A and B are shown apart, each in its own frame.
Chain A
Amino acid sequence: MLRYILKRILLIIPVVIGITFFIYIVLALAPGDPVSLMLGSDATSEQLAAMRHQLGMDQNVIVRYLLYMKTVLSGDFCTSWLNGRPVFNEFLQRIPHTFALAVNSLIITIVFGLSMGIFAAARQNTPVDNITLVFALVFSSIPTFWCGLMFQIVFALKLGWLPSMGVGSIRHMILPALTLSMISLAGQVRMTRSSMLDVINMDYIRTARAKGASEFRVIMRHAVRNGLLPVVTNLGILFANAFGGAIVTETVFAIPGIGVYMINAAKARDVPIVMGVIIFVAIIVAVINLLTDLIYAFIDPRVKMGYMS
């Protein structure tokens, strides 16, 4: 078991290297000149050259990449070209907000998505089931940012029930987390329902009924345990999506997370920030994926036994 974990951790490294290399090359070879952006259009050519030398931009791309990685490995993620603040510190300050948003929306997605999915599956082909399906399709079509805007306007600005932006309390988290969970929730309901239906039609469910178990017991004790296995596998992807979606949601609700940070950096072509964020997020996502796989291995006896023996 331990060997498996170590192997997976080691695998993260080439992946992170791969993605950073690709992004770095793309950013470096892109048209446009960030140096002139930084110094303004009235900078002299000597000033430009000096800045370039200072940033090490007069060297070969590959060399620059290696130098960058060397710096990163020593813990220094460089400073932003925009505001001069070290990327690492900014990141540490901001990541908790984004993380909290992603996790909260995941909780909503899972709790409601699973229960509605199980409910719909247990009532297959009844009007309740059909309505649930249609709602799921409709809700997965609503743009997240628009949903956020509407929630903000209706519940915060018009009705005044909840704060419209920022962070600070649980109340601040409600609208953003709800917004972010919308599309995932819709997808989760369908996925859970589909998975549960697969299980409900299995022979061993019929065996349970033949033993005299009530329908409730059959669903809760037999179907759910098997039907939720694929859901666990999906957790990693759900998290990655939540993280991505958080970026958009943060702009709507003015949450000081890495989303806003990244977007401004993208518009200004600020390479250190973009690179730093990519590296961090890649590592976080990889770790979450690993944890998901471990949880799955624990839950499915077939996999668990495979590792114990």
Chain B
Amino acid sequence: MDDFKEHATDRGAQSQFGSIIFRFKKNKLAVFGFFFLAALALIVLTAPLYLDYSKAIRQNISQQFQSPSWKHPFGTDVFGRDLLARVIYGGRISLFAGLGVVLCDLSFGMLLGGVAGYFGGRVDQIIMRFTDIFMAVPSILLALAVVTALGEGTFNLIIALMIATVPRTSRIVRSSILTLRNQEFIEAAKCYGTSNARIIIKHILPNSIGPVVVTATLSLGSAILNIAALGFLGVGISPPTPEWGTILADNRQNILYYPYLGIIPGLAIGLSVMCVNFIGDGLRDALDPKMKK
């Protein structure tokens, strides 16, 4: 019995976390994505400090369609508004509304999925029926319907998108917990007397966090895309609030002659989502011990 003690090492949560960070750092794309996104978030977050909001909405028709120059680094749009200012303030909406959607999504998703997975039985059945119902229609349709009801506004947009995404997230959380519950190491832990609380904290949570984090990161990407799409459609955000999608919608007729009006906002959306995807992908690889490489 004594020989075993010296062989067993305590690979606690600490060293596991460290090795995850290590693997993540090895992924160049993921690291690039992380820093680029952090930079974007910083620029956008601190905007009120260095950029006056009025610049984003003040119209000046005489200045319309100016190509990018020193004065207007991104040029001006159809109403003569400075595009750089609009893109930066638009980023606040896109990125932080996106974040809002993901946080709400995660909270409710983990709550519902966790309850369903852990308690099982009738509770599980009821929650699953609910998710079935909400997953019966494509999420954009659902979001559209909710926005129809609630009206325009960023907050309503977040609620609508959250309703559209929580069902899927709760399913992922639930299946993650179900798989874990049935694994042999949980049975083994029970066999030598580990309490339920300890099992949840030490075994189930650390192992289920992984897929959930990856899903959350990737759904941030979808959220940003959905917000932009809904903005483009003219649903959700009302003028003159800038948002990357609405900027594209405003200038749609003129992109042919002034390409920068289309390329720059599109690039903003694409780059942010790309960074998020790189990060999510890097996280997924870092969390998977048997990497497929």
Direct interface between A and B, CB < 8 A: yes
Is B148 a contact partner of A274 (Cβ separation < 8 A)? yes
Q: Are A26 and B149 interface neighbours, CB within 8 A?
A: yes
Q: Is A265 an interface residue (CB 8 A)?
A: yes
B139 at the interface (CB under 8 A from A): yes
Q: Indicate if A240 sits at the interface (CB-CB under 8 A).
A: yes
Let me know if B248 and A31 touch, CB within 8 A. Answer: no
Alpha-carbon distance between A262 and B221 when the two chains are bound, in angstroms: 25
Contact B144 A149 (CB under 8 A): no
- Tell me, yes or no, whether B80 is within 8 Å of chain A by CB: no
Q: Is the CB of A19 within 8 A of B248?
A: no
The verdict on A229 contacting chain B, using a C-beta distance below 8 Å, is: no
Does A235 lie at the interface of the complex (its beta carbon under 8 Å from any beta carbon of B)? no
> What is the 8 Å Cβ interface bit string for chain A, positions 18-33, against chain B (1 contact, 0 not)?
1100110011011110
Categorize the interface residue count of chain B. 35 or more
For B221, what are the chain A residues with a Cβ–Cβ distance below 8 Å?
140-141
Rounded to whole Å, the gap between the CB of B58 and the closest CB of chain A is: 26
CA distance A29 to B262 in the complex (A): 39
| Chain A residues, Cβ within 8 Å of B144 | 247, 262-263, 266, 274
* Residues A150 and B266 in contact, CB atoms below 8 Å apart: yes
A241 near B: Cβ within 8 Å?
yes
A142 touches B270 (CB 8 A): yes
Which of A60-68, A205-213, A277-285 lies at the interface with chain B?
Answer: A277-285
Q: Cβ of A163 < 8 Å from any Cβ of B?
A: no
Q: How far is the CA of A285 from the CA of B140 in the complex (A)?
A: 14
Closest chain B CB from A288 CB (angstroms): 11
> With a CB–CB cut-off of 8 A, which chain B residues contact A3?
none
Within the complex, which residue of A137, A146, A243, A251 is in contact with B138, where a contact is CB–CB below 8 Å? A243
Q: A140-B277, A266-B144 are in contact. Are A18 and B133 (CB under 8 A)?
A: yes
Chain A residues closer than 8 Å to B29, beta-carbon distance: 134, 137
Q: Which residue of B lies closest to A144 (CB)?
A: B229
Please indicate the chain A residues that have their CB under 8 angstroms from the CB of B138 in the complex: 240-241, 243-245, 247, 281, 285
B130 surroundings in chain A (CB, below 8 A): 18
* Whole-angstrom distance between the Cβ of A143 and the nearest chain B Cβ: 5
Contact partner of A141 among B139, B262, B273, B292, CB < 8 A?
Answer: B273
- Please measure, in the bound complex, the distance between the C-alpha atom of A266 and the C-alpha atom of B43, giving whole angstroms: 34
User: Is the interface on chain A under 10, 10 to 19, 20 to 34, or 35 or more residues?
Assistant: 35 or more
From known contacts A137-B278, A149-B262, A262-B141, infer whether A19 and B229 are also in contact, taking CB-CB under 8 Å: no
Q: Are B270 and A146 in contact (CB under 8 A)?
A: yes
Interface code A119-137, partner B: CB below 8 Å = 1, 0 otherwise? 0000001000000001001
Sample of 14 A–B contacts (CB below 8 Å): A23-B149, A26-B145, A30-B149, A137-B29, A140-B221, A141-B225, A145-B245, A145-B248, A146-B232, A146-B262, A146-B265, A146-B269, A149-B255, A251-B233
Chain B residues near A (Cβ < 8 Å): 29, 129-130, 132-134, 136-141, 144-151, 221, 225, 228-229, 232-235, 245, 248, 252, 255-256, 262, 265-266, 269-271, 273-274, 276-278, 281, 292-293
16 new A-B contacts, CB < 8 A, other than A146-B228, A146-B232, A146-B248, are: A15-B133, A18-B130, A27-B145, A27-B149, A140-B277, A141-B277, A142-B266, A149-B248, A149-B262, A153-B255, A153-B256, A157-B256, A240-B137, A248-B140, A248-B233, A278-B141
**Top 3 nearest A-B pairs by Cβ distance?**
A244-B138, A18-B133, A30-B149
